[in-house]
């Protein structure tokens, strides 16, 4: 969320590769799981009361992360900010209280856990070989490492939400569920 988790990209950058993988693949998903398993069933009235505020924070987090990511040159920070954006989208789907968006949130959490972990592993591999995470350093990477470049491109497209991949399915379900709950009042 926007004002609370702006420390997260810096934690990803400072953490070793294994720490970033655990943080992105497992620990970020605990908040979404807590929302689904504990907050909504145990506190339904409080959920309804704070629904507009949480949705506003999630939309602000998506917009804030999208603008911040344009200025990044560190590969780990780019992946970290995209993780923040994806988790804000998950929160938006959970708090839409639409079954379609809830299913999309679960799918996006699973897909994002796999894709972001793979991207952090690939960036960690690059850093161990070349000691740089700057995006400008890797301009001719496809000539030197073609198989690695293919995997990096595949997981980057998956993180982007390319059609047919897991993140796309989750994001599409979330967007459809949000639009259904907004335009048709949950019908």
Q: Domain range spanning residue 59?
A: 8-182
Q: What average pLDDT does the segment 94-98 reach?
A: 91
Q: At what angle do helices 166-183 and 99-130 cross, to 10 degrees?
A: 150
Residue 178 lies in a domain: yes
Lookup: tokens for 37: 């398993």
Which H/E stretch holds residue 120? helix 99-130
Tally the C-alpha atoms within 13 A of residue 160's C-alpha that lie toward its C-beta: 8
Lowest mean pLDDT segment, chosen from 5-9, 25-29, 85-89, 171-175: 5-9
Tell me how far apart the alpha carbons of residues 12 and 77 are, in angstroms, rounded to a whole number: 7
Residue 150 lies in a domain: yes
Asked whether residue 81 is assigned to any structural domain, the reply reads yes
Which of the residue ranges 38-42, 136-140, 148-152, 173-177 would you say has the lowest mean pLDDT? 136-140
172-176 LR contacts (CB < 8 Å, sep 24+): 172/104, 173/93, 173/100, 173/101, 173/103, 173/104, 173/107, 173/108, 174/89, 174/90, 174/92, 174/93, 174/96, 174/101, 174/104, 174/105, 174/108, 175/104, 176/100, 176/101, 176/104
Q: What angle do CA 166, 81, 112 make, to 5 degrees?
A: 20
- Burial 13-46, CB ≥16 within 10 A → b, else e: bebebeebbebbbeebbebbeebbeebbeeeeee
Q: Give a yes or no: residue 2 inside a domain.
A: no
Q: What is the count of structural domains for the chain?
A: 1
Please indicate, yes or no, if residue 1 is contained in any of the structural domains.
no
Region 138-151 average pLDDT: 90
CA 57, CA 73: separation in Å to the nearest integer? 26
Please report which confidence band the pLDDT of residue 92 belongs to, taking 50, 70 and 90 as the band edges.
very high
C-alpha closest to that of 123 among 71, 77, 67: 77
Q: What confidence score (pLDDT) does residue 176 get?
A: 94
CB 92 within 8 A of CB 107: no
What is the pLDDT, as a whole number, of residue 133?
84
Residue 31: inside a domain: yes
């Amino acid at each position: 969320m926007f004002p609370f988790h702006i420390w997260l990209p810096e934690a990803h950058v400072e953490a070793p590769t294994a720490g970033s993988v655990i943080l992105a693949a497992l620990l970020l998903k605990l908040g979404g799981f807590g929302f689904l398993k504990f907050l909504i069933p145990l506190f339904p009235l409080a959920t309804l009361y704070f629904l507009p505020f949480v949705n506003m924070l999630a939309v602000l987090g998506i917009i804030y992360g999208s603008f911040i990511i344009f200025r990044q040159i560190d590969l780990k920070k780019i992946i970290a900010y995209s993780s923040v954006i994806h988790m804000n989208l998950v929160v938006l789907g959970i708090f839409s209280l639409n079954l379609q968006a809830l299913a999309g949130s679960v799918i996006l959490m699973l897909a994002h856990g796999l894709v972001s972990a793979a991207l952090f592993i690939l960036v960690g591999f690059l850093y161990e070989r070349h000691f740089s995470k700057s995006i400008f350093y890797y301009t001719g990477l496809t000539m030197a490492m073609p198989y690695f470049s293919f995997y990096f491109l595949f997981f980057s497209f998956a993180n982007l939400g390319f059609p047919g991949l897991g993140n796309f399915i989750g994001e599409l379900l979330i967007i459809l569920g949000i639009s259904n709950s907004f335009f048709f009042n949950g019908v």
